[in-house]
Amino acid sequence: MAHEEEAAADLVTGVLIVGGGQAAVQLSSTLRDAGYDKPITIVGDEPHLPYQRPPLSKGYLLGDEALGGLEFRSSAFFSENGIGVLLGERVESVERTAEGAIVRTSAGRAITCDRLVLAVGASPRRLPIPGADADGVITLRDAGDAVRLGERLAAAENVVVIGGGFIGLEVAASARKLGRHVTVLEAAPQLMGRAVGAETSAYYLDATRRRGIDVTLDARITGIRTGGDGEVTGVELADGTVVPAQLVALGVGVAPRVELAEQLGLEVDNGIVVDDHSLASDGWTLAIGDCANLPSPYPVDPTLTRVRLESVNNAVEQANHAAQTILGTPVAYRSVPWFWSDQGDLKLQIAGLSSGHDQVIVRGDPAADRVTFLYLREGRLIAADCVNSPADFAAVRRALAGDVRVDPARLADTSEKLAVVLRDAVSA
Ligand SMILES: Cc1cc2nc3c(=O)[nH]c(=O)nc-3n(C[C@H](O)[C@H](O)[C@H](O)COP(=O)(O)OP(=O)(O)OC[C@H]3O[C@@H](n4cnc5c(N)ncnc54)[C@H](O)[C@@H]3O)c2cc1C
């Protein structure tokens, strides 16, 4: 790792990975494990060693996990494996050269590489409404945001969460567990609408309310109110209601970081467009993780040919496939996507993609908060949203690697283990 005085020294490297997050760390270690022997350099603009983001909205806010414990790897791991990690340094410009590319960083350094990987993640969206930049309106993407959110949470009595997606609901559950009065305002007619089926959303609406969190769907937010000191005091809705808040957590989605791709003239469309070897439109630059728009690695819905997946699983799997591309042994990226979201005592695990389903089977008891929603398309099982049902999740995840056609009545029958039902279906 560079010291301050070394920061401006130019560098020459083999693979240069821009972005020090989940995908970057995975790619660097997979390349080393596979015997890649040239220098690898990661440049990340955050001041910390690469760390896990998922606990930021859960264990960290609850005080169960400290930031220092979230690092993927120690600095010794990186130096022992010949992986240079430049922290607090932003790549500001990039251009192709005859042999590769050259980037320039905020520290005034030029880095020449023979392979460039963009693993730059995404930035949280803000809302174009009056008061959106007031003190106390906080997005959550990185460790700095989590510290600010945690400090505010300690002092707030009323918390409004704008956005009922994974991160919004995780923050809401954490705040509620800490005894705050919490209101979730969601503009859409359902919670987590981008990620789960309507049946799962409906269950979550009920379960979230049962946990003492107020939820308004179809919310039309017109502004954020502030006091004379510029501090947030509430959120104003189109019908004139003002929901009081000393903290507003914004969880309204992210925008993929595409500036460097645009400098390179790469195709960009809701992310950096790549093929199933993670190659961008120039056939040379790679893009992985949250910033990449890729051919669906799990093509079960013919109308969903491309996806941008925001998950640990995709960052890891796509990085592993990208390593094969760099090593000259490309393998098309095919994988059953999976996700999780811990919201207080509700552990949601999702296997597959439910987009395009035409049938839903409910297995278990929603009222007891132990339920699995199984999604089928033309008689084939394509996805499951599992709540507090890890065995069902493991069984579905395994089975989805094949073409599973199964009697819906057996899927709903909890007297038989799902693993047994699915094993029979796969071998049938
Ligand atoms: C609060 C929170 C909770 C989450 N919970 C879950 C969960 O429960 N389950 C799950 O599957 N996923 C979860 N995720 C999503 C998951 O963390 C992401 O999908 C994953 O981190 C993506 O990895 P990445 O490497 O693509 O991007 P990131 O981890 O975002 O890393 C990108 C890095 O690149 C840096 N960067 C960007 N531009 C530049 C530049 N020009 N120069 C240098 N550095 C740059 C960024 O600052 C960042 O550090 C959560 C995310 C958040 C924020």
pLDDT in tens, 76-114: 999 999 999 999 999 999 999 999 999 999 999 999 999
List the residue whose alpha carbon is closest to atom 53 of ligand 1.
141
Q: How far is the CA of 121 from the centre of ligand 1 (A)?
A: 5
Ligand 1, atom nearest to 309 Cα: 19
Hunting for tokens 């109110």 — which residue is that?
225
Distance between CA atoms of residues 243 and 94, nearest Å: 46
Confidence of residue 228 (pLDDT cuts 50, 70, 90): confident
* pTM for this predicted structure: 0.96
Average pLDDT over residues 353-361: 95
Average pLDDT over residues 113-140: 96
Q: How far is the CA of 253 from the centre of ligand 1 (A)?
A: 12
Confidence of residue 7 (pLDDT cuts 50, 70, 90): low
Confidence of residue 3 (pLDDT cuts 50, 70, 90): very low
pLDDT at residue 428 above 80?
A: no
Q: What pLDDT is attached to residue 424?
A: 81
Q: What pLDDT is attached to residue 8?
A: 65
In this structure, are residues 152 and 135 in contact, taking their beta carbons and an 8 Å threshold? no
Ligand 1, atom nearest to 171 Cα: 1
Distance between CA atoms of residues 299 and 290, nearest Å: 19
Q: How far is the CA of 274 from the centre of ligand 1 (A)?
A: 18
What are the Cα distances from residue 332, in Å, to 57, 129, 268, 278, 335?
A: 33, 43, 21, 9, 10
Q: What pLDDT is attached to residue 5?
A: 52
Q: How far is the CA of 117 from the centre of ligand 1 (A)?
A: 15
The string of pLDDT tens digits covering residues 239-283 is: 999 999 999 999 999 999 999 999 999 999 999 999 999 999 999
Ligand 1, atom nearest to 92 Cα: 41
pLDDT at residue 4 above 90?
A: no
pLDDT at residue 2 above 70?
A: no
The string of pLDDT tens digits covering residues 181-221 is: 999 999 999 999 989 999 999 999 999 999 999 999 999 99
| Pocket of ligand 1, beta carbon within 6 A | 18-24, 43-46, 53-54, 56-57, 90-91, 119-121, 140-141, 167, 257, 260, 289-290, 310-313, 315, 339-341
Q: Which of 139, 254, 290, when mutated, tests ligand 1's pocket best, judged by the most ligand atoms within 8 Å of its CB?
A: 290
Q: How far is the CA of 24 from the centre of ligand 1 (A)?
A: 10
Q: Which of 46, 85, 120, 291, when mutated, tests ligand 1's pocket best, judged by the most ligand atoms within 8 Å of its CB?
A: 120
Ligand 1, atom nearest to 146 Cα: 1
In this structure, are residues 298 and 334 in contact, taking their beta carbons and an 8 Å threshold? yes
CB neighbour class for 285 (10 Å; exposed up to 12, middle 13-18, buried from 19): buried
pLDDT at residue 392 above 50?
A: yes
Give the chain's mean pLDDT: 95
What is the residue-wise DSSP string for 167-234? HHHHHHHHHHHTT-EEEEE-SSSSTTTTTS-HHHHHHHHHHHHHTT-EEESS--EEEEEE-TTSBEEE
Q: How far is the CA of 362 from the centre of ligand 1 (A)?
A: 33
Average pLDDT over residues 335-363: 97
Spell out the long-range contacts of 143-149 with Cβ–Cβ below 8 A and sequence spacing 24 or more.
143/46, 143/48, 143/51, 143/56, 143/67, 143/70, 144/46, 145/56, 146/56, 146/57, 146/60, 146/61, 146/67, 147/67, 149/61, 149/247, 149/249
**Which residues lie below 8 Å from residue 69, measured CB to CB, with a gap of 6+?**
none
Task: Spell out the domains of the chain, with CATH numbers in brackets.
Answer: 4-123+255-326 (3.50.50.60), 126-252 (3.50.50.60), 357-427 (3.30.390.30)
Confidence of residue 6 (pLDDT cuts 50, 70, 90): low
Q: What pLDDT is attached to residue 425?
A: 81
Q: How far is the CA of 64 from the centre of ligand 1 (A)?
A: 21
Q: How far is the CA of 347 from the centre of ligand 1 (A)?
A: 21
List the residue whose alpha carbon is closest to atom 15 of ligand 1.
311
